[in-house]
Amino acid sequence: MTGAGHRFWGRFAWYKRFHARLIAAVSERHSREVESWKRDLVSPLRGTVVEIGPGTGANLSFLSPDVTWIGVEPNRHMEPYLMAEALRLGRKVRLEVGVAEQLPFGDASVDAVLATLVLCTIRDVPRALQEIRRVLRVGGRFVFIEHVAAPSGSWGRRVQRLIRRPWGVLGDGCHPDRETWRAIEGAGFRSVELTHFRIPVPIVGPHIAGVAIR
């Protein structure tokens, strides 16, 4: 590899470390803002639960102790934060490096899939949702809590579009104006129940939370 190549990947690794620190800083506040949603949607999950993009482990404390938890995380620099949280909780975890578009599990092999603040950054959302459906057992649950686009035509939506590119650079590819609910509703799940709500933060205040059944 050339010297230029080393410098490029060095910067990339630095960026991933920076993003891990950023997520560690903001995850606790976000969990407080959506705590009731996590208790209603995450805490009832049982069996084998796959969490996509678990980051620093902000959802671990909401899961039942008897859940078998497997995380699929593309950023390896999140691991120290997540493992520290698992140790604090006394929870056994299994962490895989991977992406939502290619989950390392067999067909109909897990009871639930969990994603919070993840679908905003995934490159190919339809493919990721197909993968989620594939690995879920019949009757399995896909639980999601995501920030989404502000209402069409609103000032909030205009601001989201205006800052889309710099926001994506800061947020590791995050899209502040994705209509994620449309992708979930069109992904072929047997049923989808979701609610739109807002939390008191700028830009990414609009949220959805819900459950899709395989």
What pLDDT, on a 0 to 100 scale, did the predictor assign at position 171?
Answer: 81
Where the chain has pLDDT below 50, the residues are 1-10
At which residue do the structure tokens 């620093």 appear?
56
Q: Are 50 and 135 in contact (CB under 8 A)?
A: yes
Encoding tokens for residue 163?
């800052």
What pLDDT, on a 0 to 100 scale, did the predictor assign at position 18?
Answer: 63
CA-CA distance, 160 to 7, in Å (whole number)?
A: 32
Encoding tokens for residue 104?
């390392």
Ordered domains of the chain (ranges, CATH): 3-213 (3.40.50.150)
Residue 30: Cβ within 10 Å count: 20
* Residue pLDDT, tens place only, 21-59: 666 667 777 888 999 999 999 999 999 999 999 999 999
